[in-house]
Amino acid sequence: MQLKSWQLVLAAVAISFMLALAEVPATDRFTTAAISLSAGVAALSLMAASALLGARWGFVETCFGGLDRVYQAHKWLGIWALVFATVHFLFKAGIKEWEVVSIITLAPDITRLARQLSYVALMFIVMLALNRNIPYNVWRWWHKLSGPLFLIVIVHWLSFKTPIALSSPAGLWLAFVSILGVMAAAYKLLLYRFISSHAEYELTGIEPGAGAAHMQFTPVGKVVDFEPGQFGFLRMKVDGLREPHPFTIASAKSADGRVDFLIRSLGDYTGRLIANTQIGMHADIYAPYGRFNRSRAAKREVWIGGGVGISPFVAWLKDEANHFDRVTLFYFYTPGRDFPAVELMREMAEQRGAELVPVPDGPESPVFRQRLAEIVSEARPEEVEVSFCGPKGLLGKVQGQMRENGIPESNLRHEYFEFR
């Protein structure tokens, strides 16, 4: 069973409110002061959980079923942290009759400044994360501040006069999540580059396309271990291209340890990457991530790739697995921008004995709708397993076609296409 974003948010908020309300008199638990206090505890807890998810630790990815799900949860933790921080900021978190004390004593002006800065810092982090108009290289460096800014929130908690003693259950909870969050943030900021799973590679081949490129990397020493369908963070060791960026690995395991990426110019960074990379450049590849693996037990497989979302299916076709005769691959592309070319994809599919259905005219294409209906009529709907990788808009259309043909929602496996 995979952990969902809403489950983590609900658990953190429920624990925070339960422990915080236990520290105030029963008669005051439904006052705005008690709600504000509890909301503050929840906001700090959600920020700590967000820092934990941002560390890219393997056990966290396993819990969520893939790093794409981790990033979705990371986003929602930040949004809900801002919601509860706003409640905490708007209402005074105390009543005159409460016995309150601060854990550390700071000057009143500094205590007040920490309170205001903690809210501004959280609002800044969330707005930054949600703003897709910021260039990637700028976004990445500003986002690195989220760890240090979390320390300001902790200072606010420690210096704020509250009925929550450090030795109380609520105090121990806050201490636990704060330590966990700081450890995760410190790891991601200071240690990730050095001790996470990665290897150095050399760029040994480039096949250009229409606003895209197929890049082939050969290991310099050790190799990264991966399964077809997983992705890695590519960090070129060249000025201007050093920001690590996620790309699906478009190759299967091989004796020489080669790693291929299909990269399309979809933003400022990918545009520079395609325009400026040259044979012989070196890069670090941080991998593997993701849990988008082929379903080995499916009786009938439908693969749907949209645009650069075809990458994991290219890797699956290159794999030495079998039972490709039960596979139909729908390749959604824009005419003139098909990369890899439809002819190449058809050749790969024929070599494996899989069926390729090119779809150049979008999800409402009669070809797509008719062939999917035929597949369902040939097999029972519950036997059809759908694997999808592509834009969110296309995903919604695919889900609609699945419902129309009676394919259970649980038979859909997909990876979120966008991280930001």
Express each pLDDT in 358-397 by its tens digit: 999 988 999 999 999 999 999 999 999 999 999 989 999 9
Contacts of 7 (CB under 8 A, 6+ apart): none
Distance, in Å, from the CA atom of 229 to the CA atom of 213, rounded to the nearest integer, reads 18
Higher pLDDT residue, 132 or 110?
Answer: 110
Distance, in Å, from the CA atom of 17 to the CA atom of 19, rounded to the nearest integer, reads 6
Q: Angle at the Cα of 293 (from 291 to 298), degrees rounded to 5?
A: 130
In angstroms, the Cα distances linking 216 to 141, 256, 319 are: 28, 12, 16
What's the mean pLDDT when you consider all of the chain? 92
Q: Which pLDDT score, from 0 to 100, does residue 322 have? A: 84
Residue 129 has pLDDT above 70, yes or no: no
Distance, in Å, from the CA atom of 198 to the CA atom of 92, rounded to the nearest integer, reads 48
Residue 336 has pLDDT above 80, yes or no: yes
Q: Which pLDDT score, from 0 to 100, does residue 111 have? A: 86
Distance, in Å, from the CA atom of 388 to the CA atom of 374, rounded to the nearest integer, reads 19
Chain segment 64-106, per-residue pLDDT in tens: 999 999 989 998 999 999 999 999 999 999 898 898 889 998 8
Distance, in Å, from the CA atom of 393 to the CA atom of 360, rounded to the nearest integer, reads 16
Chain segment 295-317, per-residue pLDDT in tens: 878 899 999 999 889 999 999 99
Distance, in Å, from the CA atom of 166 to the CA atom of 254, rounded to the nearest integer, reads 55
> 378-402 burial, b for 16+ CB within 10 Å, e for fewer?
eeeeebbbbbbbbeeebbebbbebb
Phi, psi at residue 230, to the nearest 5°? -85, 170
Higher pLDDT residue, 296 or 206?
Answer: 206
Residue 151 has pLDDT above 70, yes or no: yes
Report whether 368 contacts 357 (CB < 8 A). yes
The model's pTM is 0.88
Share of the chain above pLDDT 70, in %: 96
Q: Which pLDDT score, from 0 to 100, does residue 292 have? A: 93
Q: Which pLDDT score, from 0 to 100, does residue 149 have? A: 86
Report whether 377 contacts 350 (CB < 8 A). no
Q: Which pLDDT score, from 0 to 100, does residue 268 have? A: 81
Distance, in Å, from the CA atom of 124 to the CA atom of 98, rounded to the nearest integer, reads 32
Q: Which pLDDT score, from 0 to 100, does residue 296 have? A: 78
Q: Which pLDDT score, from 0 to 100, does residue 142 have? A: 72
Share of the chain above pLDDT 90, in %: 75
Count Cβ atoms below 10 Å from residue 189 Cβ, excluding itself: 17
Nearest CA-CA partner of 281 in 207, 214, 201, 197: 201
Residue 406 has pLDDT above 70, yes or no: yes
Distance, in Å, from the CA atom of 225 to the CA atom of 333, rounded to the nearest integer, reads 30
> 142-160 burial, b for 16+ CB within 10 Å, e for fewer?
eeeebbebbebbbbbbbbb
Q: What mean pLDDT do residues 215-236 have? A: 95
Chain segment 7-58, per-residue pLDDT in tens: 999 999 999 999 999 999 999 999 999 999 999 999 999 999 999 999 999 9
Distance, in Å, from the CA atom of 148 to the CA atom of 151, rounded to the nearest integer, reads 5
* DSSP secondary structure letter of residue 240: T
Q: Which pLDDT score, from 0 to 100, does residue 316 have? A: 96
Chain segment 160-169, per-residue pLDDT in tens: 899 999 999 9
In angstroms, the Cα distances linking 199 to 122, 216, 282, 379 are: 34, 15, 11, 44
Nearest CA-CA partner of 346 in 325, 330, 363: 330
Chain segment 340-364, per-residue pLDDT in tens: 999 999 999 999 999 999 999 988 9
Residue 247 has pLDDT above 60, yes or no: yes
Residue 320 has pLDDT above 90, yes or no: no
12: Cα within 13 Å, side-chain hemisphere? 30
Nearest CA-CA partner of 310 in 294, 330, 337, 286: 330
Residue 114 has pLDDT above 90, yes or no: no
Quickly state the pLDDT bin for 419 (edges 50, 70, 90). low
Contacts of 299 (CB under 8 A, 6+ apart): 326, 379, 383, 385
Grouping H, G, I as helix, E, B as strand and the rest as coil, residue 148 is: helix
Q: What mean pLDDT do residues 106-115 have? A: 88
Amino acid present at 274: I
Hey, what are 94's tokens? 């105390």
Q: Which pLDDT score, from 0 to 100, does residue 136 have? A: 67
Report whether 229 contacts 413 (CB < 8 A). no
Q: Which pLDDT score, from 0 to 100, does residue 228 have? A: 94
DSSP characters over 272-306: HHHHH--TT-EEEEEEEE------TT-SEEEEEEE
